[in-house]
Structure 1
Amino acid sequence: MPVHTSQGPQGHRARGVGLGLAFASAVAFGGSGIAAKPLIEAGLDPLHVVWLRVTGAALVMLPLAVRHRALLRRRPALLAGFGLLAVAGVQACYFAAISRIPVGVALLVEYLGPALVLGWVRFVQRRRVARGAAVGVVLAVGGLACVVEVWSGLGFDAVGLLLALAAACCQAGYFVLSDQGADAGEEAPHPLGVIAYGLLVGALVLTVVARPWTMDWSLLAGSARMDGTPVPAWLLLAWVVLIATVVAYVTGVLSVRRLSPQVAGVVACLEAVIATVLAWVLLGEHLSAPQLLGGAVVLMGALVAQSSTSAKASQGLVVGGADEAVADGDGAAGAADAGRGERELSGRGPGA
């Protein structure tokens, strides 16, 4: 399969649209905790909020699930794993974490997920990791130490931090699962179909775990306080379902289609910054100077790791393209090398 590159005015325009979509996805994802935390503080259990979010989004995406129903037969394990880890696991652990620790801290801890993916690649798959990626991991861990203020004996709730780390592990599983089948060409599972069925599987799992029939539904008819300001609960829930879930996933997928997954992943790192700023402005969650510095270091580490991965993928593209160009002399070998070049580009970012 040939690798297409974006050149000329149309290519630049498509790249600009892709960057805009990636930024919109980061804003949408970053606002999830800001809208969910007031609902939790109003009396809703974190698991109930997660169930409402996932189930509502699953109903919205149901037409896409019907359209891609062949995935049930072709990729049942992928859909089950995606629903358990990328949907139910990430959301449940993250929302439970923000009920105990600040939104910005929970999201920054969750962003250890990419570092865990590198550990999976290096120690489980026994593949080499770029030096820049390893430097990025060290920066991220060092920044995290500043965020949680290890010198003060972990001033944050220990259970909240463990829940955020669990969300990071589930996020790592998201990245690993998103890469499955990416080298299958036209047989690769459609990302929108995977998202739709992942939401459905997540909703089914969370129904058993959260037991929504025990929820106090009357709370949704009332209001929740956002830094002292009353806001209708249904409006916050609508934001969580439509914007922070459906729009976030769809714009993320569309951005990856116009950019490479690596570039879209770099833009997605803005999610932590956006969430921290929104939590500061809307929820009054003020962080200290060392914590802000640590957050910046965490993001810097993520950017270094992502940039290193992107550069390595670009090198893979050059090698793959060269081998494909000389494939006239040895078609089988050229096709195999070109496939490896494309495989380097197949890593899925958060919006994939």
Structure 2
Amino acid sequence: MPVHMSESSQVGRGKGVGLGLAIGSAVVFGGSGVAAKPLIEAGLDPLHVVWLRVAGAALVMLPLAVRHRALLRSRPALLAGFGLLGVAGVQAFYFASISRIPVGVALLVEYLAPALVLGWVRFVQRRPVTRAAALGVVLAVGGLACVVEVWSGLSFDALGLLLALGAACCQVGYFVLSDQGSDSGEAAPDPLGVIAYGLLVGAAVLTVVARPWNMDWSVLADTADMNGTPVAAAVLLAWIVLIATVVAYVTGVLSVRRLSPQVAGVVACLEAVIATVLAWVLLGEHLSAPQIVGGAVVLAGAFIAQSSAPAKSPDEPVASGGPERELSARGNVA
């Protein structure tokens, strides 16, 4: 009995840490738009801001890439997939979609990712999915529709919707690939190394798409206006690179390792809520009553989803219960 209590305590502590990391990742990811918008309004192209974000983060993480260079031989497919899907794919598809459909619609479609993650876990990995997790996804997506006020700019541009769905699928790849190897014990790929190489791959792909040699670099030496307050553009860029990218990806991947892709995916829906609240506070973009209600519903959905499955313990990763995950892991190996 004392041993059982000790294991339960470890699982509970791991779950609490994982939830904290997931919320922290959503907070810093959500803060990227608030810092990027003044730079865009100051004259930078949105794709150039994305390139600066990813390329700067890749440069910061370069020492870790050198340190974990063995991953190039042991996990080349994982590194390429994470860079193409989790870094470059999400950004490129999202920005392409908002050029054709309203931002709110694109955000809503992109954050269908938690539902797609559940489908991946249930039908591809053949792992059990709890009803509470499914309910959490439904609440989170419904609340998100209120947060982005999808009804105010509904558009049925087929290509735009397909591009937004592409962003959602890439986000599924981010959560699923973040969990790869987490049940391999000491042989699991180091998450910091995966992130470092993913950012390098993403930066290389985005360089071709964004063509930064056409960027107006002088904007970075000036100030940008944040709701009437001049802020150095370099400070905003530093926030985007160091906090909204490096810290966001590190905490996000670590949260998936401690929770599960489906739970971390639902908690990530908080990003849109946090981005909306920060825009209200820092940019003066006021919230409507449906947005406030929608934010509360997203929070409820995230709470229900994260409480539906035990966390991964240091010795035995779990998604919807220890024995089920163990059997699933053996099946995947086979």
With the shorter chain as reference, the TM-score category is 0.7 to 0.9
Q: Which has the larger radius of gyration?
A: 1
Note closer, same or farther for the CA distance 1:166–1:44 as it changes in structure 2 (3 Å cut): farther
Aligned to 1:340: 327
Say if 2:303 is the partner of 1:316.
no
Aligned to 1:232: 232
Task: Quote how far apart the aligned CAs of 1:166 are.
Answer: 3.9
The secondary structure found in structure 2 opposite 1:308 is coil
Measured against aligned partners, the alpha-carbon deviations of 1:157-201 in whole angstroms (never above 9, x if no partner) come to 998877655433221111122232233222221111100000000
Task: Quote how far apart the aligned CAs of 1:220 are.
Answer: 1.1
Matches within 5 A, 1:107-126: 110-125=110-125
Task: Quote how far apart the aligned CAs of 1:249 are.
Answer: 2.7
The secondary structure found in structure 2 opposite 1:183 is coil
Aligned to 2:46: 46
Say if 2:301 is the partner of 1:301.
yes
Percentage of identical aligned residues: 80
Aligned to 1:59: 59
Task: Give, as a single letter, the amino acid of the residue that structure 2 aligns with 1:68.
Answer: H
Aligned-residue CA RMSD in angstroms? 3.8
Matches within 5 A, 1:7-18: 7=9
Task: Quote how far apart the aligned CAs of 1:283 are.
Answer: 1.5
Judge which range, 261-270 or 212-221, deviates more: 261-270
Equivalent residues of 2:83, 2:201 under 8 A apart: yes
The secondary structure found in structure 1 opposite 2:225 is strand
CA distance in 2, matches of 1:244, 1:35: 9
Equivalent residues of 1:103, 1:279 under 8 A apart: no
Task: Give, as a single letter, the amino acid of the residue that structure 1 aligns with 2:114.
Answer: P
The secondary structure found in structure 1 opposite 2:307 is helix
CA distance in 1, matches of 2:37, 2:290: 24
Equivalent residues of 1:22, 1:252 under 8 A apart: yes
CA distance in 1, matches of 2:157, 2:21: 35
The secondary structure found in structure 1 opposite 2:321 is helix
Task: Give, as a single letter, the amino acid of the residue that structure 2 aligns with 1:316.
Answer: G
The number of residue pairs the alignment matches comes to 320
Equivalent residues of 1:108, 1:298 under 8 A apart: no
Structure 2 gap segments, 5+ residues each? 313-317
The secondary structure found in structure 2 opposite 1:26 is helix
Say if 2:196 is the partner of 1:196.
yes
CA distance in 2, matches of 1:272, 1:205: 25
Equivalent residues of 1:109, 1:144 under 8 A apart: no
Task: Give, as a single letter, the amino acid of the residue that structure 2 aligns with 1:230.
Answer: P
Note closer, same or farther for the CA distance 1:80–1:290 as it changes in structure 2 (3 Å cut): same
CA distance in 1, matches of 2:106, 2:216: 26
Task: Quote how far apart the aligned CAs of 1:309 are.
Answer: 3.6
Aligned to 1:173: 173
Q: Normalized against structure 1, the TM-score is what? A: 0.75
